[in-house]
Amino acid sequence: MSEIKWNEFLIPYSQAVDELKIKFRNLRKEFLEKNEHSPIEFVTGRVKTVDSIREKMRRRFISEELLEQDMQDIAGIRIQCQFVEDIYDVAKLLHIREDMRVIEERDYIANSKPSGYRSYHVVIEYPIQTSTGQKNILAEIQIRTLAMNFWSTIEHSLNYKYKGDFPEEINERLKRAAEASFMLDEEMSKIREEIQDAQQYFTDRKRDLNNPTEHDKK
């Protein structure tokens, strides 16, 4: 893709990531301001590096002409949740938004990968405004629990070392760790209401301490 200026090519993707991060963080803030449980805990995002894009083009046999439509994760958003149930709540929220369109979903929670990887992937079409008009960008949103994200981060780091060809012992340990991670999520879901009640108590207590009444000031 030497004839295309990469910096210029990636500008719309960077804009999409910046806008989406702000929107999802504001959505979390909205839930909290209404004193409601937010299914969104953390939001991060990134644009694929040029080297990563080129490597995936070679690996997936993606042509330069079809890059924008065939590579769906040049712009990537990651939403972390406390509970598995929150993941599906976030997915529902994506469907009802009018500023983006869901075009594909992959549930790796109900159907985990052989490696043990679990996450919920949503590909959206997101319109941005550029100097030449509107441009529709494909972006991938990965929704996962904190435990799923921890496992995935470790697995991703090991991938760099072993290039995907893990020793059998490491591979088995990763699978066991993935199962342990999912068991943790399941246990947390069973006491979800108690956890949320406790979190609400601490939130209310913190608010009271930060905003003392006139009686408290005396």
Residue 180 maps to a domain: no
Residue 187 maps to a domain: no
140 is catalytic: yes
Residue 216 maps to a domain: no
Overall pTM > 0.85: yes
What pLDDT is stored for residue 198 in this prediction? 79
Query: Which residues are registered as beta bridge partners of 130?
Result: 133
CA distances from 20 to 8, 61, 120, 139 (A): 20, 29, 17, 10
Residue 18 maps to a domain: yes
Residue 69 maps to a domain: yes
Counted domains in the chain: 1
Q: Helix axis angle, 146-162 relative to 168-190, nearest 10°?
A: 170
Contact present, 24 and 40 (Cβ < 8 Å): yes
What pLDDT is stored for residue 214 in this prediction? 52
Residue 20 maps to a domain: yes
Residue 134 maps to a domain: yes
Residue 181 maps to a domain: no
Taking residue 75's Cβ as centre, other Cβ atoms within 10 Å add up to 27
What pLDDT is stored for residue 1 in this prediction? 43
Looking at 68, 140, 186, 187, which residue is catalytic? 140
Q: From the first residue on, what is the mean pLDDT of each consecutive set of 10 residues in the chain (218 residues)?
A: 80 97 98 93 97 93 94 98 97 98 97 93 97 95 97 88 83 92 93 82 67 56
CATH number at residue 132: 3.30.460.10
Q: Structural domain of residue 84, as residue ranges?
A: 6-148
3-state percent helix, strand, coil for the chain, nearest multiple of 5: 55, 20, 25
